[in-house]
Amino acid sequence: MIKNCLNNDIFLAGVNDRTTDLFEGLWPIDGVGISYNSYIIKDSKNVLVDLSKSFKTDEFFDQISAIVNLEDLDYVIINHMEPDHTGVLRTLRRINSKFEIICTKKAVKMLKDYYDVCDNIRVVEDGETLSTGKHELVFYHVPFVHWPETMVTYDKSSSILFSCDAFGGYGALQGAFFDDEYSEITYYEKESLRYYANIVAKFSTPVLNAITKLGLLDIKTIAPSHGLVWRKNPERIVELYKKWAKYSINGGENGITLLYGTMYGNTENMMNAVAQGISESGMIPEIFDVARTHPSYILPSMLKNRGIIIGAPTYEVSLFPYMQQVIQKAVIKNIKHKKVAYFGSYGWSKGAYKKVQEMTSGMDWDIHEGLEFAGRVTPELYNEGCELGKRFVKSLEN
Ligand SMILES: Cc1cc2nc3c(=O)[nH]c(=O)nc-3n(C[C@H](O)[C@H](O)[C@H](O)COP(=O)(O)O)c2cc1C
Ligand SMILES: [Fe+2]
Ligand SMILES: [Fe+2]
């Protein structure tokens, strides 16, 4: 895909990835895909802002060549070293050994470690500028959005922010590139939240720091390296990222994620009781079967909702493995400050509830209910489950 982008001398060149099934080898993107966006600034000096994964390299280079000969590139700005934005760098260097790489100091070692690139590197300080002719680019360091070396690039003359991973999302582009070209962007917003919960949530404090730092700029367009270019309403994606980043600090919104796993249906029965109690109190929980839903799809709900209820049986004196998996990922992603309840069936020894407590210590998960029951859900237990659900809704009000 190539698009005369934003104004006459800035172009979007990028590839849609619709065949990688797991992003980062971990998060399912089958069915939605992802784009790797790169930007060409055609000026007295020719610039590429970020590159692409080493994937469809010919297609990517052909797009650039349609605008600027690869031999005539003067600068390649590496905002972020992760291989989804740098994978083609070694090949590009073989074609053109003279372009200067613009990056932060922390990226220098990574350039050597990943690509054995050591020459023609210009390290830029936070706030440093580079004139390319008509355009004046300013580099702002935004460490840990997403890696320690990460920066963003701001073009003063067009007020475009090239933000790399920040403000990006899953979802290959559907032949249109800008927010205003889609009548419905709910799909991209939802996939951006999933991307945020999967990839960015761990770095919510750096994200908020970056938003504060960049808040002083006059930004007319946000051009990330994944997903839509936001030119009609750039404030929208900034506000969403700000809201999502704050969830890691304030615990999220008034809602309930109800997770369950079951082997023989007893814990599932109790889940129905708890869900009934919740709904009788006027809320509808978001329910996930942890064995059948990849954590990638569960984490956005856990990040967003202040209430998390965990229903899982004891399995070999511990917690049902799929539940361990989703809780472990929530811990890694810094999903903190939650109100939590546990319920689950056991056969003879218990062990699941203890494991939940162990796994989440240090996360400020206020686990104020633990309903462990032997075997089946009796009518009395069903009522207890309903009551647990009702009490949980009340506890969220405090
Ligand atoms: C492979 C396996 C391991 C189990 N390990 C334990 C255990 O260590 N301690 C225990 O009390 N129950 C254990 N159980 C029993 C289950 O916790 C019990 O059957 C429970 O009722 C299952 O709930 P469910 O119907 O929701 O799957 C185990 C069951 C299975 C199938
Ligand atoms: Fe990244
Ligand atoms: Fe990325």
List CB contacts of 350: < 8 A, sequence separation 6 or more. Answer: 314, 372
Indicate if the pLDDT at residue 174 is higher than 90. Answer: yes
Kindly state if the Cβ of 215 falls inside 6 Å of ligand 1. no
CATH code of the domain in which 200 resides: 3.60.15.10
Indicate if the pLDDT at residue 7 is higher than 90. Answer: no
What is the domain range of residue 27?
2-249
Residues 225 and 293 in one domain: no
CATH code of the domain in which 275 resides: 3.40.50.360
Q: Whose CA is nearest to atom 15 of ligand 1?
A: 347
C-alpha to C-alpha distance for 232 and 178, rounded to whole angstroms: 8
Q: How many C-beta atoms lie closer than 10 Å to residue 194's C-beta?
A: 23
Residue where a domain terminates, one of 227, 249, 271: 249
Ligand 1 binding pocket mutation candidate from 274, 314, 323 (most atoms within 8 A of CB)? 314
How many angstroms is it from 194 CA to the middle of ligand 3? 14
Give CA 103 to chain center in angstroms: 23
Residues 67 and 163 in one domain: yes
* pLDDT band, very low/low/confident/very high, at 6 (cuts 50, 70, 90): low
How many angstroms is it from 122 CA to the middle of ligand 2? 21
Residues 148 and 263 in one domain: no
Residues 241 and 358 in one domain: no
pLDDT on residue 4: 66
Residues 177 and 295 in one domain: no
- CA-wise closest residue to 103 among 53, 43, 72, 143: 143
Indicate if the pLDDT at residue 86 is higher than 90. Answer: yes
Residues 377 and 357 in one domain: yes
Mean pLDDT taken over the chain:
96
How many angstroms is it from 165 CA to the middle of ligand 3? 5
Q: What is the pLDDT averaged over residues 269-298? A: 98
Residue where a domain terminates, one of 224, 249, 274: 249
pTM of the predicted structure, to 2 decimals: 0.95
Kindly state if the Cβ of 269 falls inside 6 Å of ligand 1. no
Residues 203 and 299 in one domain: no
Residues 212 and 354 in one domain: no
Residues 233 and 339 in one domain: no
Looking from the CA of residue 270, the nearest atom of ligand 1 is 26
Indicate if the pLDDT at residue 5 is higher than 70. Answer: no
> 95-141, pLDDT tens digit by residue?
999 999 999 999 999 999 999 999 999 999 999 999 999 999 999 99
Q: What percent of the chain clears pLDDT 90, i.e. is strictly above it?
A: 96
Residues 147 and 44 in one domain: yes
pLDDT on residue 216: 85
Return the SS3 of 300.
helix
C-alpha to C-alpha distance for 176 and 228, rounded to whole angstroms: 8
- Answer with the residue of higher pLDDT: 5 or 250: 250
C-alpha to C-alpha distance for 217 and 143, rounded to whole angstroms: 18
Q: What is the pLDDT averaged over residues 385-397? A: 97
> 357-366, pLDDT tens digit by residue?
999 999 999 9
85 contacts 104 by C-beta, under 8 angstroms? no
Residues around ligand 3, an ion, CB closer than 5 A = 84, 165
Residue where a domain terminates, one of 249, 279, 295: 249
How many domains is the chain built from?
A: 2
Q: Whose CA is nearest to atom 4 of ligand 1?
A: 315
Residues 43 and 176 in one domain: yes
Q: What is the pLDDT averaged over residues 135-149? A: 97
Ligand 1 binding pocket mutation candidate from 315, 319, 353 (most atoms within 8 A of CB)? 315
Q: Whose CA is nearest to atom 28 of ligand 1?
A: 315
> 328-353, pLDDT tens digit by residue?
999 999 999 999 999 999 999 999 99
Residues 350 and 369 in one domain: yes
Which ligand lies nearest the alpha carbon of 225? 3
